[in-house]
Amino acid sequence: MTDLSLYDRVGGHAGIESFANNLLPRLQADPQLGRFWLHRGDDGVAREKQLLIDFLCVSAGGPEDYPGRDMLTTHKGMNINCEDWSAFLIHAGQTMTELEIPQQERDELVAFVLTLKADVVDVKN
């Protein structure tokens, strides 16, 4: 086991920024998930991307600050269902493959993301 944080092992801020820059266009272009970005201005999308980067950096052990809200508050009322969650996971996996993230780091990232499901998915859907 290495003493380096997940943040360091995925390339620090630049690595996480690359992940977000690859993932978000996939999500936005997805016929099922694209609805979450309809009628969003460029500034709102850019702010959302920066919050994602900050959140992932902090969650992976980086020195950044995350000024955003918790995941439950952030996703409340979005009506994200289990099919949306599954589609997101597929795109995240494709992003990790394209960026050649090593398996150990992929496993850690997936394990972390799975802890967020209860705060993101609306169980009524």
What gap in Å lies between CA 8 and CA 104, rounded to an integer? Answer: 13
pLDDT at 124: 75
pLDDT band, very low/low/confident/very high, at 77 (cuts 50, 70, 90): very high
> Domain locations in the chain?
11-120
Q: How far is CA 118 from CA 41, 96, 100, in A?
A: 28, 23, 28
- For 8-19, the three-class secondary structure string (H helix, E strand, C coil) is HHCCHHHHHHHH
pLDDT of residue 123: 80
The helix-helix angle for 12-29 and 42-59 (nearest 10°) equals 130
> Domain 11-120 in CATH: superfamily?
Globins (1.10.490.10)
Structure tokens at 22: 């690859």
pLDDT over 80 at 94, yes or no: yes
What average pLDDT score do residues 65-86 get?
Answer: 96
Mean predicted confidence (pLDDT) in 36-64? 96
Residue 125 has pLDDT above 60, yes or no: no
Across 102-118, average pLDDT: 96
| pTM for this entry | 0.92
Between CA 17 and CA 49 the distance in angstroms is 9
Q: What is the pLDDT at residue 1?
A: 55
Residues 6 or more apart from 51 whose CB is under 8 A from it? Answer: 66, 67, 68
